[in-house]
Structure 1
Amino acid sequence: MGVMTQVLVLGGTGWLSGRIAERWRDAGARVTCVARGDRPAPEGTVLVRGDRDQGAYDALIGQHWDEVVDISSTARHVREAVAALGDRAGHWTYVSSMSVYDEDETIGLDETGRLLAPAQDGDEYDYGREKVAAEQAVRTLGERAFIVRPGLITGPGDPSDRFGYWAAAADRAGTGPILVPERGDRYVQVIDVDDLADFLVVDGRQGVVNANGDVHPFLDVLERIRALVGHTGELVEAPDAWLEEHGVRYWMGERSLPLWLPADMPGFTRRRNDGYRAAGGAVRSLDETIRRVLDDERARGVDRERRAGLSRSDELELIDALRGQGAHAR
């Protein structure tokens, strides 16, 4: 009988990191998760409670890991993990982000795109720059390092509520209208959380990979969602400037229209993903992901309070205001 693969997941109790721990467990590895808080780790894994601000690695002294996986977006935490564990890790996978790139204008940007300046200690927190600095720390491990840059991750349980907003909005509207950004050159590019988790059970991969799904026109995605939901109401289109004037935010957060981006960011959702596919990454059909997300939204409640999107009452208020000014409807 072979020696069991030893895997350390820095996290393991969250949405993505928990799935990564499960995949390694299912692959026959002995999985240890290091996490703070009171959330459980997946059944069949070992949970070590540790705060990365307060000596999280003390309980791991003397152990060697065939694989370490880290998804942190705090560069200091990643640097400290590499310093504490790097000489005892056979391979290190770091989950970074598409947000590391310094420009969003170029369509079809690949892994060689220019990066943001790395965050420095004492800077105001900036997600993309923190990820760049974290990547730098992981790169010091040389050929043992594998850096994965996902795009927008979606799927059941998504804590950001972004992609799922549109399934919820269509479902709760029924025969009523939905507020959408104005048609134009808008696209959506997401990766299903379970495709990403499967990809992260790696065996010695090196380098950098943009992990993302295929590019789809935004309105095509909406039409697929509406077809699966059975929404028969209108799509009421609002110009970007009007939405901004009425306090609707881009992309994410409260009182937002998720996945909507400024017109000067055409490349953000149109990155290359052929490196991911060449490395064995799977991209399930968009319809399958939508079905999974819709089931999850219905289970969690389409009228619940969300981290991203509009409440139905806010949405209807905005539609009324827009129609008073002669809105476009489809």
Structure 2
Amino acid sequence: MRLLILGGTEFVGRAVSEEALARGWEVTVFHRGRHQPPPGVTALHGDRGRPDGLAALTTGEWDAVVDTWSAAPRAVRDATRLLADRVGHYAYISSGSVYSYPSAAGHAEDHPVVDGSPDDGEVDYARSKRGGELAALEAFGDRALLARAGLILGPWENIGRLPWWLLRMARGGPVLAPGPRELALQYIDARDLARWVLDAAERRLGGAYNLISPQGHTTMGELLSECVRVTGGRAEPRWAEPEAITAAGIEPWTQLPIWTPPGELYDTLHAGDVSKALAEGLRCRPVAETVADTWSWLRSLGGVAPQRPDRPKVGLDPEVEAAFLRG
């Protein structure tokens, strides 16, 4: 397979690159040159935000494209129009954020979506992803795959959610652990996302798919226990009820990454229907493997997690945590 990745050097794009190389595919990575691509790929440079940014893609043919773009939809529009006659399949890494909020528990691919346009410039994240979907569909039709990913974790994460928990547990001492322990979580390891998307590309699978683990693939308790274990066991989780946490003004998802208390946001993020993707071969590795591999990767970077400049930093201020634990 000849694969073109629009992105390919960070997080999901990196996972796709690594998976494709492991399969022996011919991989071309198109990026801005700010990060080193994996060894073994052909690198093309360009900036999709500039009028002449796609010049490097005016020639060439590929069996499939994977596009990780999450900003202005017109960049997806321009790329899909340029490539439509020279590419067999287009996989757009979209997001569950395209669904209208709130999304009831059990929401599937037919849940209503937000408005969007392939001609949009800079808009909010949900509309950006929906506009990108529409651009892919406009140019590729049933050759377009809309991979609606949920929470993505694993090595190369540049958002900081799982890295924050790992580094916090490595610091040790009493740790605010948001309950309940048995709270079911949904997420997908970036490597499992990559594997499924490339399998789908080989089969020319089209349409929208929710890509996230089955609900209850792990729990908050299991996730944090694995974080304690792999970082040496010095942390002491102190479990607290959701009501106490929110009453203290501590924000779910941002200050306490991954976690949300039961309610609308929880149903939207951790209660999606993935039966369609499971029927097409989605398999998710155990949480212990995701946590351990992410910790090994973080240690290889000296314990400093990369951070996307267009995303806010996550995590709880140590003084806020200490004040809460003192009661």
**Fold in common (TM above 0.5):** yes
8 Å Cα contact 1:171-1:302 kept in structure 2: no
**2:4 aligned to which of 8, 32, 46:** 8
How many equivalent residue pairs? 311
Shift of 1:196: 1.2
8 Å Cα contact 2:46-2:54 kept in structure 1: yes
RMSD: 2.7
| Unaligned ranges ≥5, structure 2 | 308-312
Alignment map for 1:220-299 (pairs within 5 Å): 220-229=222-231, 230-231=233-234, 233-237=236-240, 239-240=242-243, 243=246, 246=249, 248-252=250-254, 256-261=255-260, 263-267=263-267, 268-299=269-300
Counterpart of 1:212 in structure 2 is 212
Letter in 2 for 1:144: R
Q: Distance in 1 between matches of 2:160 and 2:287?
A: 17
Deviations, residues 274-325 of structure 1 (Å, cap 9, x unaligned):
22222122211112212223333444466879732124344223423xx1xx
Shift of 1:185: 8.3
Equivalent position SS for 1:260: coil
Q: Distance in 2 between matches of 1:242 and 1:192?
A: 27
Shift of 1:36: 0.6
Counterpart of 2:136 in structure 1 is 138
* Shift in alpha-carbon separation, 1:314–1:305, aligned structure 2, 3 A: farther
Shift of 1:95: 0.6
* Shift in alpha-carbon separation, 1:294–1:41, aligned structure 2, 3 A: closer
8 Å Cα contact 2:196-2:282 kept in structure 1: yes
* Shift in alpha-carbon separation, 1:105–1:266, aligned structure 2, 3 A: farther
Deviations, residues 179-233 of structure 1 (Å, cap 9, x unaligned):
1335388432111111111122121111221111132333343344445553562
**Please, what TM-score do these two structures have when normalized by structure 2?**
0.84
**2:100 aligned to which of 84, 93, 102:** 102
Higher mean displacement: 298-307 or 282-291: 298-307
Deviations, residues 76-129 of structure 1 (Å, cap 9, x unaligned):
111111111112211111110111111334111111111111158667631111
Give the share of equivalent positions with the same residue, in percent. Answer: 30
Equivalent position SS for 1:62: coil
Counterpart of 1:61 in structure 2 is 58
Letter in 2 for 1:28: G
Shift of 1:245: 5.3
Q: Distance in 2 between matches of 1:52 and 1:305?
A: 22
8 Å Cα contact 2:171-2:235 kept in structure 1: no
8 Å Cα contact 2:64-2:88 kept in structure 1: yes
**1:50 aligned to which of 35, 46, 59:** 46
Counterpart of 2:310 in structure 1 is none
Q: Distance in 2 between matches of 1:303 and 1:237?
A: 28
Alignment map for 1:172-191 (pairs within 5 Å): 172-173=171-172, 176-183=173-180, 186-191=183-188
Shift of 1:71: 0.9
Alignment map for 1:302-321 (pairs within 5 Å): 307-320=313-326
Q: Distance in 2 between matches of 1:6 and 1:298?
A: 33
**2:37 aligned to which of 41, 47, 50:** 41
Alignment map for 1:115-130 (pairs within 5 Å): 115-118=113-116, 125-130=123-128
* Shift in alpha-carbon separation, 1:214–1:170, aligned structure 2, 3 A: farther
**1:17 aligned to which of 13, 16, 25:** 13
Q: Distance in 2 between matches of 1:155 and 1:234?
A: 22
Alignment map for 1:318-329 (pairs within 5 Å): 318-320=324-326, 323=327
Counterpart of 1:327 in structure 2 is none
Letter in 1 for 2:322: L
Letter in 1 for 2:62: W
